[in-house]
Structure 1
Amino acid sequence: MVFYRNSIISDQQGFNRRWYAPNLEAVYLPTHATDVVEAWADVIANKKGSGGELQITGGRHCYENFVYNPKTKFIIDTTGLRDYGYDSRYGYYIDVGYGNWDMYRIFNNVYGLTLPAGSCYSVGLGGHLTGGGYGLLSRLHGLTVDHITAVDIVIQQDSSAPELITASASENPDLYWALRGGGGGNFGIITRYYFSDPPRSPATMYSDAFTFEWRTITSAERLGELLEGFSAYCSIQNDQELWSQFGIFHANHQAAKSISVIFYCFDVPSEGKTGSDYEAFLLDHISAMRRQFGDIAPLSDQPGNVIGHPWHGDTRSVAGPGDGTLRQYTYLEGVQNANGSGPNRFGKYKSAYMNKGFTPDMVEALYAGLTSTPVVGNHVPLDMSQSLCQIDSYGCAINELTADATPIPQRSSIMKLQYQTYWDNASPVGCDNQEQAQGHLDWIKGLYTDVYAVYGGYPNPYEDSSGTVDGCYYN
Structure 2
Amino acid sequence: MGEVTRRGFLGGTAALGGTAAAAGFAPAALASGTALTSGAGAPAFGPVVVRPGDPRYEDLAVRRTNQRFRHEPDYFHLAGSTEQVVAAVTEAVRANRRVTVRSGGHCYENFIGDGAQVVIDLCEMSEVYFDEKRGAFAIEAGATLMQAYRELYLGWGVTIPGGQCGGVAAGGHIAGGGYGPLSRRHGLTVDHLEAVEVVVVDKSGRVRAVVASRNPADPNHDLWWAHTGGGGGNFGIVTRYWMRDPAAKGDDPSKLLPRPPATVLSGVAIWSWNGMTRESFRRLLRNHGEWHARNSAPGSPYASLWGSLLIPGRQPGADPGGIIMPTQIDAGVPGAEQLLRDHFAAVAEGVTPEVFVPPLQRDPWFQAVRTLSLGAESESGRYKGKSAYLREPLTDEQADVAFDALGTAGEVSRTGMLWLLSYGGQVNAVRPAATATVERGSMLKMLHLATWEPGQDGAAQLAWVRELHRKTFEATGGAPVPGGACGGAYINYPDVDHADPEWNTSGVPWSTIYYGAGYARLQRVKARWDPRDVFRHALSVRPPGGS
Is the counterpart of residue 470 in structure 1 residue 499 in structure 2?
no
Query: Which residue of structure 1 lines up, in the alignment, with residue 113 of structure 2?
Result: 68
- Select which of 342, 347, 351 maps to 1:288: 342
- SS of the counterpart of 2:464? helix
Q: Is the 8 A contact 1:133 1:145 kept in 2?
A: yes
Q: Is the 8 A contact 1:90 1:195 kept in 2?
A: no
Query: Which residue of structure 2 lines up, in the alignment, with residue 316 of structure 1?
Result: none
- SS of the counterpart of 2:432? coil
- Select which of 44, 47, 51 maps to 2:93: 44
Q: Which segment is superposed worse, 286-295 or 453-462?
A: 286-295
Distance 1:179 1:213 in 2: 42
- SS of the counterpart of 2:123? helix
Q: Is the 8 A contact 1:210 1:299 kept in 2?
A: no
Shift of 1:240: 2.5
Structure 2 counterparts to residues 120-199 of structure 1, below 5 A: 120-168=165-213, 169=215, 170-171=217-218, 172-197=220-245, 198-199=257-258
Structure 2 unmatched runs, 5+: 1-29, 31-46, 246-256, 496-547
Is the counterpart of residue 331 in structure 1 residue 365 in structure 2?
yes
Structure 2 counterparts to residues 448-467 of structure 1, below 5 A: 448-462=469-483, 467=484
Distance 2:366 2:261 in 1: 9
Structure 2 counterparts to residues 438-457 of structure 1, below 5 A: 438-457=459-478
Q: Is the 8 A contact 1:58 1:124 kept in 2?
A: yes
Is the counterpart of residue 82 in structure 1 residue 130 in structure 2?
no
Query: Which residue of structure 1 lines up, in the alignment, with residue 138 of structure 2?
Result: 93
- Select which of 317, 321, 340 maps to 2:374: 340
Shift of 1:296: 1.7
Shift of 1:119: 1.0
Number of equivalent positions:
418
Distance 1:46 1:26 in 2: 13
- SS of the counterpart of 1:140? helix
Query: Which residue of structure 2 lines up, in the alignment, with residue 202 of structure 1?
Result: 261
- SS of the counterpart of 1:4? strand
1:260-296 C-alpha deviation (Å, 9 max, x unpaired) = 11211124xxxxx45xxx3xx1211222233341542
- SS of the counterpart of 1:290? helix
Distance 2:304 2:344 in 1: 18
Shift of 1:360: 2.1
- SS of the counterpart of 1:412? coil
Question: Counterpart of 2:142 in structure 1: which amino acid?
Answer: G
- SS of the counterpart of 1:440? helix
- Select which of 206, 227, 239 maps to 2:285: 227
1:205-247 C-alpha deviation (Å, 9 max, x unpaired) = 111111001122111x211111111112211134532101102
- Select which of 316, 320, 323 maps to 1:259: 323
Percent identity over the alignment is 27
Distance 1:161 1:291 in 2: 60
Shift of 1:345: 1.1
Q: Is the 8 A contact 2:274 2:353 kept in 1?
A: no
Question: Counterpart of 1:448 in structure 2: which amino acid?
Answer: H
Shift of 1:372: 4.7
- SS of the counterpart of 2:414? coil
- SS of the counterpart of 2:301? helix
Distance 1:223 1:203 in 2: 36
- SS of the counterpart of 2:274? helix
Q: Is the 8 A contact 1:320 1:327 kept in 2?
A: no
Kindly report the root-mean-square deviation, in angstroms, between the aligned alpha carbons of the 2 structures. Answer: 1.8
Distance 1:184 1:12 in 2: 20
- SS of the counterpart of 1:367? helix
Structure 2 counterparts to residues 349-360 of structure 1, below 5 A: 349-360=385-396
- Using the size of structure 1 for normalisation, the TM-score is 0.84
Q: Which segment is superposed worse, 106-115 or 88-97?
A: 88-97
Is the counterpart of residue 416 in structure 1 residue 445 in structure 2?
yes
Is the counterpart of residue 364 in structure 1 residue 400 in structure 2?
yes
Query: Which residue of structure 1 lines up, in the alignment, with residue 426 of structure 2?
Result: 397
Distance 2:438 2:358 in 1: 36
Query: Which residue of structure 2 lines up, in the alignment, with residue 110 of structure 1?
Result: 155
Select the structure that is richer in strand: 1
- SS of the counterpart of 1:352? strand
Distance 1:3 1:210 in 2: 48
Distance 1:338 1:384 in 2: 26
Q: Is the 8 A contact 1:87 1:93 kept in 2?
A: no
Gap change, CA 1:387 and 1:222, over 3 Å in 2: same
Shift of 1:300: 5.3
Shift of 1:252: 1.7
Distance 1:99 1:413 in 2: 27
- SS of the counterpart of 1:215? coil
Higher relative contact order at CA 8 Å, sep ≥6: structure 1 or structure 2? 2
Shift of 1:39: 0.8
Question: Counterpart of 1:20 in structure 2: which amino acid?
Answer: R
Query: Which residue of structure 1 lines up, in the alignment, with residue 101 of structure 2?
Result: 56
- SS of the counterpart of 1:287? helix
- SS of the counterpart of 2:280? helix
Is the counterpart of residue 215 in structure 1 residue 271 in structure 2?
no
Q: Which segment is superposed worse, 107-116 or 221-230?
A: 221-230
Q: Is the 8 A contact 1:202 1:331 kept in 2?
A: yes
Shift of 1:384: 3.3
Q: Is the 8 A contact 2:412 2:460 kept in 1?
A: no
Shift of 1:46: 2.8
Is the counterpart of residue 248 in structure 1 residue 302 in structure 2?
no
Gap change, CA 1:233 and 1:223, over 3 Å in 2: same
Distance 2:126 2:461 in 1: 38
